[in-house]
């Protein structure tokens, strides 16, 4: 299937590893020129070479995409080196550092961290998690929209989570991801008339190289891992990045023109929401 996006320019935040890397590679496989950013130059440089090997242009910028001022510089450098952004993937996020929580923490059945005392959950942690998941992407969206509206074509994809759709993880992460889904829906309805689509992807628990779940598999006996997976995951395995990357490429394509405002789970049946 020809996705019709060869020669477009994409910006993927958090694009050096994990889901961001896979989405960047999937776009490059469709002939899209890609800019990626993250905080670690070594992984950025490695991923940029992988992307270029697919025959497209790739630039990278060392930056913290949760920092509003930093994303303005990322956008400016992307436009300077590759051209105006046609496809934006707001991938940066996170649930916060467990070591910073001055409350009792326990693990829920799917292994995410959840707080027992919402009334004492630190406000500064909530602010930090919202910054990681919402504010940088919100600003980038503002920056890319003028070009998209002018050409009456654009694709913006945000990375949410199944914990933005239903109960799970901690109060900060769940709230921030729900906000990402809501902001995406509002933008989709408000700007549909310009030919710009906004959608979010809600991954379940994904294991990729260097992730906590990759370490879990390596650091525990096989019977422990197998028992955990059989008990809590319908497929009996963790998720993996490729379906997320390929879905992002489809949502970025001409083939998805009537899909906007959607939040699409990629979780192997892990989530229980009916919505």
Residue with tokens 């913006």: 156
173 is catalytic: yes
Backbone angles phi, psi at 89, to 5 degrees: -120, 110
Q: Which of 101, 138, 167, 173 is catalytic?
A: 173
The residues annotated as belonging to the active site are: 173
């Amino acid at each position: 299937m020809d996705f019709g996006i060869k020669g477009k320019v994409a910006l993927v935040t958090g694009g050096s590893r994990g889901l961001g890397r896979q989405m960047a590679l999937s776009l490059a496989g469709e002939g899209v020129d890609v800019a990626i950013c993250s905080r670690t130059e070594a992984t950025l440089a490695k991923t940029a070479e992988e992307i270029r090997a697919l025959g497209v242009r790739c630039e990278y910028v060392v930056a913290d995409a949760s920092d509003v001022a930093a994303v303005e510089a990322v956008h400016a450098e992307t436009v300077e080196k590759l051209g105006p952004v046609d496809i934006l993937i707001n991938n940066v996020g996170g649930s916060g550092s467990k070591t910073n929580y001055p409350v009792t923490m326990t693990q829920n059945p799917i292994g995410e961290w959840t707080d027992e005392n919402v009334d004492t959950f630190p406000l500064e942690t909530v602010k930090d998690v919202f910054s990681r998941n919402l504010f940088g992407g919100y600003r980038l969206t503002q920056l890319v929209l003028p070009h998209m509206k002018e050409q009456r074509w654009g694709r913006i994809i945000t990375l949410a989570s199944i914990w933005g759709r239903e109960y799970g993880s901690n109060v900060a992460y769940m709230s921030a991801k729900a906000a990402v889904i809501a902001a995406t829906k509002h933008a989709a309805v408000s700007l549909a008339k310009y030919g710009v689509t906004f959608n979010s992807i809600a991954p379940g628990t994904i294991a990729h190289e260097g992730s906590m779940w990759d370490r879990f598999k390596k650091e525990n006996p096989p019977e422990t891992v197998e028992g955990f997976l059989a008990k809590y995951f319908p497929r009996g395995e963790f998720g993996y990045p490729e379906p997320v990357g390929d879905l992002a490429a489809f949502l970025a394509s001409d083939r998805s023109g009537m899909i906007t405002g959607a939040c699409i789970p990629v979780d192997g049946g892990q989530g229980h929401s009916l919505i």
